[in-house]
Amino acid sequence: MAWSIADVARMSGVTSRTLRHYDEIGLLPPAWIGGNGHRHYEEADLLRLQQILLMRELGLGLREIQAVLDSQVDQVAVLREHHRRLLSERDRLDTLARTVGRTIAELEEAEEDNAMAKINRPENLFEGFEQSPENAAREAEVRERWPEAWEQSRQAVETMTAADQERWQREATAQMIRMAEFMVAGTPVADPAVQDEVDAHYRSVCRFWTPNAPAYKGLAQTYVDDPQFRANFDKIADGLAVYQRDAMVRYADARLS
């Protein structure tokens, strides 16, 4: 069965103009084009569009999305990972919604009683917010061992707007995905293409502080040793944290020593 571009636009909420753009850049070509020039899409194309929209929701750019879709990565495995991340975010937002709802109820009750607001359990105010004692300990260690780098990084972060932070996060995620593609393809960490990607990572880090070879190796090891960092990498692909570390160590030895 095939659907016209108008049908796909209606079902997906994506405009016909956007679908034509996706075709022009090779991201989502139609299954076939009729004699009248109208584009028609089949089931496989709808599935591909779903993946495009999912990755757009996760903040990836069109070029990064195309690289993922055109790679040899198991598409079902990619969808499972997207599904897991979406469910995790849904659960976190549900918890935050309950937290805020509970606070509203307690404040409204205080207003009705014409009394000062009283929070029965103060710790409930913060349920659902992402907090990590490990993060605080790690920050304290960095501040103690590398005070100049810590101050430089702090000042850089403070000058970033919310849009800057969102853009940086998208870039970081895209870099992780590109590294995952190299890993899945079995590309050695010494390969020039991998090292060019690490160079982009190093330049991104230098926006906040400029590590020498030992410091950059230390950051690489942190990606493996720190549970939160490692989980972030391995969410993209199992083993990515170790692959990223090995590639960064190679880079530090070759270009920073």
Does the 132-257 domain belong in CATH 3.40.640.10?
no
Output the DSSP codes for 170-212: HHHHHHHHHHHHHHHTT--TTSHHHHHHHHHHHHHHTTT----
pLDDT tens profile 187-220: 999 999 999 999 999 998 888 888 889 888 988 9
Q: Strand order in 32-33's β-sheet?
A: 2-4, 39-42, 32-33
pTM > 0.85: no
Displacement of CA 156 from its chain's centroid (Å): 21
Beta strands in 117-185 (DSSP E): none
Do the two domains 2-70 and 132-257 of this chain adopt the same fold? no
Where do the domains of the chain lie? 2-70, 73-131, 132-257
pLDDT tens profile 18-56: 899 999 999 999 999 988 888 999 988 998 898 888 878
> For the stretch 68-83, what's the b/e string if a residue is b when 16 or more beta carbons lie within 10 angstroms of its beta carbon?
bbebebeeeebeeebe
What pLDDT score does 172 carry? 82
CATH class of the domain defined by 2-70: mainly alpha
230-58-124 Cα angle (round to 5): 70
What pLDDT score does 31 carry? 94
